[in-house]
Amino acid sequence: MSSVSWDDSIHRFLHQAGSSDPTPGGGSVAALVAALGASMTAMAGSLSQGEKFAAHEAQIQETLSKMRYLSTASEELLHADIESFNGYMTALKLPKSTEDEKASRKLALESATIHAIEVPLRLMRLCRDGIISTAAIADSANKHVISDLGIGAILFEAAARSALLTVEINLRSMPESAIKNRYAEQAAALMDETERRSKAILHTARQRM
């Protein structure tokens, strides 16, 4: 399996993602897209400082701080996705010759599946939070970079949609249960809120162009 680092070149990451190795896969790519969303919102905020934007300085600084945090969190989730996949594959390869081994393997697979759902759910929450902070400066950010702010929103939404697919495919491995329903409801609610807020940001961005 491949190994990637946040310090890799763009070229190497793309090569690894497009190779026959299963990692980095869609979950890791989604985390990178979320970080790119944070970078676009951060750029718009960084170019919305000075005397002209003094009335909005506190909110802009808060958004910039949030984007720095989300970028770091995205890096952590990129690696968490790879670890999650590796953990599932390890559980899949556990012996199953005896009843005890079968029981242990089943528990390990259930635990690995839950982890494989919770990681992309965390990314969806991150994207939702990123969208909220992006929306907070949509009316006040420098209009010359308002399209970049809009791109930040689009990238957060794209990352959330990608993470949703990861949640959905892993939910299929779970038997019907209250926790499965709860995960599905959480994912749907996060996607709905992210999409709704992203749409509002893009509406504002287009009005200010």
Dump pLDDT digits (tens) for 114-124.
999 999 999 99
The answer as to whether 18 is a domain residue is no
pLDDT for 204 equals 98
d(CA 162, CA 29): 9
The answer as to whether 200 is a domain residue is yes
The mean pLDDT of the chain is 96
The answer as to whether 14 is a domain residue is no
**Interval 49-70 mean pLDDT:** 97
CATH number at 165 reads: 1.20.120.680
Query: Over 80: is that where the pLDDT of 4 sits?
Result: no
Query: What pTM was computed for the model?
Result: 0.94
Do 29 and 7 touch, CB atoms closer than 8 A?
Answer: no
pLDDT for 1 equals 53
Query: Over 70: is that where the pLDDT of 2 sits?
Result: no
Report the number of distinct structural domains present in the chain.
1
The answer as to whether 34 is a domain residue is yes
Higher pLDDT, 4 or 140: 140
The answer as to whether 124 is a domain residue is yes
The answer as to whether 21 is a domain residue is no
Query: Over 70: is that where the pLDDT of 77 sits?
Result: yes
- 50 phi/psi in degrees, rounded to 5: 105, -175
The answer as to whether 157 is a domain residue is yes
Q: Confidence band (pLDDT; 50, 70, 90) for 11?
A: very high
The three-class DSSP label of residue 51 is helix
Query: From its phi and psi, is residue 124 left (phi > 0), alpha (psi between -120 and 50) or beta?
Result: alpha
Residue pointed to by tokens 């989300």: 70
pLDDT for 5 equals 76
Tokens linked to 187: 């994912």
pLDDT for 7 equals 84
The answer as to whether 11 is a domain residue is no
**Interval 67-83 mean pLDDT:** 97
| Residue span of the structural domain in which 31 resides | 26-208
pLDDT single digits (tens) 17-40: 999 999 999 999 999 999 999 999
